[in-house]
Amino acid sequence: MSERPAPVRTRVSELLGIDYPIVQAPMGWIARSQLASAVSEAGGLGIIETSSGELDAVRREIGLMRSLTDKPFGVNIAQLFVRDPSIVEFVIEQGVRFVTTSAGDPTKYTAQLHEAGLTVFHVVPTLAAALKAVDAGVDGLVVEGGEGGGFKNPRDVATMVLLPLVASRVDVPIIAAGGIIDGASMAAAFALGAEGVQMGTRMVSSAESPVHTNWKDAIVGAAETDTVFLNRFSKPGLRALRTERSERLEREGHVGMTEFGTAMDLYFGGDMEASLALTGQVAGRIDAVRPVREIIETTVAEFRARAAALSTFVC
Ligand SMILES: Cc1cc2nc3c(=O)[nH]c(=O)nc-3n(C[C@H](O)[C@H](O)[C@H](O)COP(=O)(O)O)c2cc1C
């Protein structure tokens, strides 16, 4: 690629101290230093996961981040998976400045994280959750549409509906998640009220993602209809890649967390029927495995071109 695109200045990029308001999604076992440092080095924000529950590994990964980049990065506290309240002290002790909290109650940790000087964004799947998080004093929201990969509210709402709805009711900065992979989707998110975007599925399929090639290839080969929504009538809802196993589970109804007991065989062993490959609908728009820097720089350049093209309609 030629020259790096100029920074995109929004409240999100200012708060996080990054050039481009593009955040890599937290993802159990995947959002570790190899991927997160590539994102931070490219001018976005890498995030280290805790949803694996492997806090010793997480500590090591945060240490590795410091040797791989001097740029900002964040940590996600996925409350459903890490219920131990000492997780907050743990994250504070690591010297992290930015946290996203998800899958839980925003009133639980926000005050304590603020007292320690951290910036806190809470992930929300509905307007009610967004208003509750704002009441709890969060600095911003990650507004996550149901087309995204991973754990979901069983009453899923698409980004196109949720994002402008939340944006019309809150003043805090918003990072949009769910369906975002490029400059067109980033421009759309900004038009709907976001000041930053988060990419999950796009980052799973990136060159620096540690997952097995079979998962990346399955994303590249997927159509937009190739994900399933599991646990529609129980919790937690899940969006995963369509495989024989996930299709069968979709019909059966309830999927327990034991499904993830064999996740490593899929994530890193490449056996796509061993567990569930959490993936969003936007897999249908991903046509190649690309390096993180290329993803970020192309996204920013396209974002600018799209925004400029849109402005011609109003002149
Ligand atoms: C493999 C995978 C694992 C995920 N794990 C988490 C997690 O641990 N914590 C969290 O807040 N979100 C998690 N998510 C949701 C992402 O943070 C993100 O919001 C979502 O992927 C965005 O939609 P997209 O996949 O269309 O980009 C996960 C998503 C994927 C694909």
Which tens digit of pLDDT belongs to each residue from 191-217?
A: 999 999 999 999 999 999 999 999 999
- In sequence order, the β-bridge partners of residue 240 are 228, 278
Question: Which residue's C-alpha comes closest to atom 6 of ligand 1?
Answer: 27
- Stretch 67-93: mean pLDDT, rounded? 92
For all residues of the chain together, what is the average pLDDT?
Answer: 96
How far apart are the C-alpha atoms of 216 and 295, rounded to whole Å? 15
**85 or 188, which is more confident?**
188
Length of the chain (residues) = 315
β-sheet with 119-124: strand ranges across: 22-24, 196-199, 174-177, 140-144, 119-124, 98-102, 73-78, 46-48
pLDDT band, very low/low/confident/very high, at 81 (cuts 50, 70, 90): confident
Alpha-carbon 246 to chain mean position: 22
Report residue 226's pLDDT band, with 50, 70 and 90 as the boundaries: very high
Q: What is the mean pLDDT of residues 60-75?
A: 96
Over 60: is that where the pLDDT of 34 sits?
yes
27 alpha carbon – ligand 1 mean position (Å): 5
**pLDDT of 82 higher than 90:** no
Average pLDDT over residues 295-311: 97
pLDDT tens-digit profile of 256-271? 888 899 999 999 999 9
Q: Tokens representing 29?
A: 């076992």
pTM over 0.95: yes
Q: What's the average model confidence in pLDDT over 80-96?
A: 88
Q: In a 3-state reduction of DSSP, which class is residue 28?
A: coil
Q: How confident is the model at residue 2 (pLDDT cuts 50, 70, 90)?
A: low
Q: What is the pLDDT of residue 249?
A: 94
Nearest CA to ligand 1 atom 14: 150
**Per-residue pLDDT for 221 more than 90?**
yes
Q: Are 125 and 146 in contact (CB under 8 A)?
A: yes
- pLDDT band of residue 94 (cuts 50, 70, 90) is confident
Question: What are the tokens at 179?
Answer: 């369906």
Residue with the nearest Cα to atom 19 of ligand 1?
Answer: 177
Q: Which atom of ligand 1 is nearest to the CA of 147?
A: 26
What's the average model confidence in pLDDT over 140-164? 97
Confidence of residue 283 (pLDDT cuts 50, 70, 90): very high
Token output for 284: 């249908």
Query: To which H or E segment does residue 39 belong?
Result: helix 33-41
What integer is the mean pLDDT of 84-98?
A: 90
> Residue 280 has which token pair?
């969003």
Which pLDDT band holds residue 314 (cuts at 50, 70, 90)?
confident
Pocket of ligand 1 (CB under 6 A): 25-28, 30, 49, 51, 76, 78, 102, 123, 144, 148-150, 177-180, 198-202, 204, 278-280, 282
